Amino acid sequence: MPKTRSKPHPNISQVMIMDGQNNFPISWLNKQGYCEYSIYLENVKGIQLQPTLDMVIGTKEHARLETDFKKDAEPATFEEMLEASKTAEILSRELPVTSVHFGIRGYIDEIWMTPDEFIIIDDKPGSRAFVSSIHQVQGYCLAFKDTIRSFQDMIGGERRITAALRERGTNNIFWSSYFDNKAEEDIINLINRVQNLITGREDFIPTQNPRKCRSCRFKRKCDKKALPGSI
């Protein structure tokens, strides 16, 4: 497989240029659903803030789950996992996925590989299936689907992909859905919108919802904050 040529975007943080294509973190699909303008403030304008308490707790919880997982896990390559999952159920955490074609990359919190399907799980702090959270996990599904395209011989027959959201630190899967053609088409359209934001073909639109602004970590620095009573 040819090596991907990769370099940071000169003006937008967290964006890489891979083989000439802008590539952004899949977590941006979640931020985009909350407020596109927060991506602009953080990554284009370069406003740096301390992480919120929720972010710190989330990072610690991620690390704890990863450490617990590694206690009993056997290291294996991606190819070995795919091969073994033809006849057994395999679980992996923090699986890196990159789609140069769609220009997205990230880490899948947890993936179950079974002989019939791949279940892609994103852990969330609560148990509400926000549209933005669904978009994020669908982004992982798309990147994973693109990743396994070149391993089709190893996978054997068609295996469906399921997207799932789980309450962090529990076994509570509170939302799941097949990653079908409609979901794939919708998430590709959304990714194209984010790509257009990066290239400047479209504008970052601030939310009109003051409740979101009240909880936003950029509220003190934001010049587009929605005022109470505006919706």
Nearer to ligand SF4, 23 or 30 (CB): 30
Q: Which two tokens stand for residue 119?
A: 């279940």
SS3 call for 180: coil
Question: In whole angstroms, what is the distance from residue 174 CA to residue 121 CA?
Answer: 11
- In the block, tokens 């967290």 appear at 14
Q: Does 224 bind ligand SF4 (CB under 6 A)?
A: yes
Minimum CB distance to ligand SF4, residue 210 (Å): 8
* C-alpha dihedral sign at 151, 157, 161, 166: negative
Q: Does 219 bind ligand SF4 (CB under 6 A)?
A: yes
Nearer to ligand SF4, 144 or 218 (CB): 218
Residue choice 16, 41, 187, 197 for contact with ligand SF4 (CB under 6 A): 41
Non-local CB neighbours of 37 within 8 Å, separated by 6+ positions: 204, 205, 206, 207, 222, 224
Q: Does 37 bind ligand SF4 (CB under 6 A)?
A: yes
Minimum CB distance to ligand SF4, residue 45 (Å): 10
C-beta of residue 97 within 8 angstroms of C-beta of residue 106: yes
Q: Which stretch binds ligand SF4 (CB under 6 A): 134-142, 163-171, 194-202, 209-217?
A: 209-217
Nearer to ligand SF4, 137 or 216 (CB): 216
- In the block, tokens 């977590």 appear at 27
Q: Which stretch binds ligand SF4 (CB under 6 A): 31-39, 100-108, 139-147, 183-191?
A: 31-39
φ, ψ dihedrals at 46, nearest 5°: 80, 30
Q: Count CB neighbours of 148 within 10 A.
A: 18
Which residues does residue 160 pair with via DSSP β-bridges, in sequence order? 117
Q: Which two tokens stand for residue 144?
A: 């994973």
Q: Does 31 bind ligand SF4 (CB under 6 A)?
A: no
Minimum CB distance to ligand SF4, residue 47 (Å): 9
CA-based nearest residue to 174, from 132, 134, 118, 117? 134
φ, ψ dihedrals at 187, nearest 5°: -75, -30
Residue choice 15, 18, 35, 121 for contact with ligand SF4 (CB under 6 A): 35
Nearer to ligand SF4, 105 or 225 (CB): 225
Nearer to ligand SF4, 159 or 224 (CB): 224
Q: Does 212 bind ligand SF4 (CB under 6 A)?
A: yes
Binding site for ligand SF4 (CB under 6 A): 35, 37-38, 41, 206-207, 212-213, 216, 218-219, 222, 224-226
